[in-house]
Amino acid sequence: MKKTSRIYVAGHTGLVGSALIRALRARSFTNLITRTHKALDLTQQGAVERFFKKERPEYVFVAAAKVGGIHANNTYPAEFIQQNLAIQTHVLDMAYKYGVKKLLLLASSCIYPKRCRQPMKEDQLFTGLMEPTNEPYGVAKLAGIKMCEAYNRQYGTQFVPVIPANAYGPNDHFGENGHVLAALVAKFHEAKSKNKKKVTLWGTGKPKREFFFVDDLADACLFLMERYREIGVINFGPGVETSIAQLAKRIQKVVGWKGDIEFDTTRPDGNPRRLLDSSRIRALGWSAKVPLEDGLRITYDWYTRTQVR
């Protein structure tokens, strides 16, 4: 990408999209194209075509998606599959039709089979059933990966599906429908504010996740856009696992709440483990820089400055 290349970040107000904008601006890219959901509904084919016809982006990052944690996936399965399929279908098709040079489609580590060897390698996709609570979202993302492969094979496009670890950081969704880390930040802050003695969390606390600070994630996306010469799917993450119970203790410490944590084992856990094999991107020279403790402090500081009234 040149500094003046026309770069479209789909989903620029969200967690990953906003980090991509920060990373691009920090590197002096000057021709960034964005649209809010109100200005451009990516689930509407006609609107997406009019946008691509007018703006003619050269590079595209597809960070727009319907996302959420276990509660949201359980509650809104139809929205998760329909909206994500629509977004991907329309953006990828118009990127082909209007000559985009290269596109990165962000997927998720939850699309791997539930019973999967750890760490999870790219060749394990499509080898087993997903965790049921993730299935509607996961099926949509797997379809996006196959769509990238099909367009690359038939039309010679450079559509690269990428699989990051669990992202967190500024501009996350802090509430019960959000991902686990952001939801815990909000829950512990509320407990501190209201002087609660106890907080109850879903599941056993035993599942392990790989938490990926979103500015590191954005850095990896730019690295792949500029240096990854292949078009096959690729994993990336920090390579460190943390259990939900360990995460809760770390967030409790950052927030400064002194109460007790209990787990409601009648609630679902989700996948038992979800650690990516990121050896391919590390072999190219990229590695994560922000440890979890630092990322949690940055995230909580942003949350208290911008989300708490």
Pick out the residues of the known binding site. 11-17, 106-109, 141, 179, 187, 202, 209, 269
* CB neighbour list of residue 160: distance below 8 Å, 6 or more residues apart: 102, 103, 104, 105, 148, 224, 225, 228, 230, 231, 232, 233, 234
Report the 10 Å Cβ neighbour count for 152.
17
The residues that bridge with 235 in the sheet, in sequence order, are 163
**Edge-to-edge order in the sheet of strand 159-164:** 32-33, 7-10, 59-62, 102-106, 159-164, 234-236
Point out the catalytic residue in the list 8, 59, 112, 137.
Answer: 137
Q: Which amino acid is at 80?
A: F
Our answer to whether residue 112 is catalytic in this structure is: no
Q: Under a CB-based contact definition with an 8 Å cutoff, are residues 159 and 62 in contact?
A: no
The residues that bridge with 234 in the sheet, in sequence order, are 162
Q: Does the bond joining 164 to the residue before it have cis omega, within 30 degrees of 0?
A: no
Which positions are annotated as active-site residues?
137
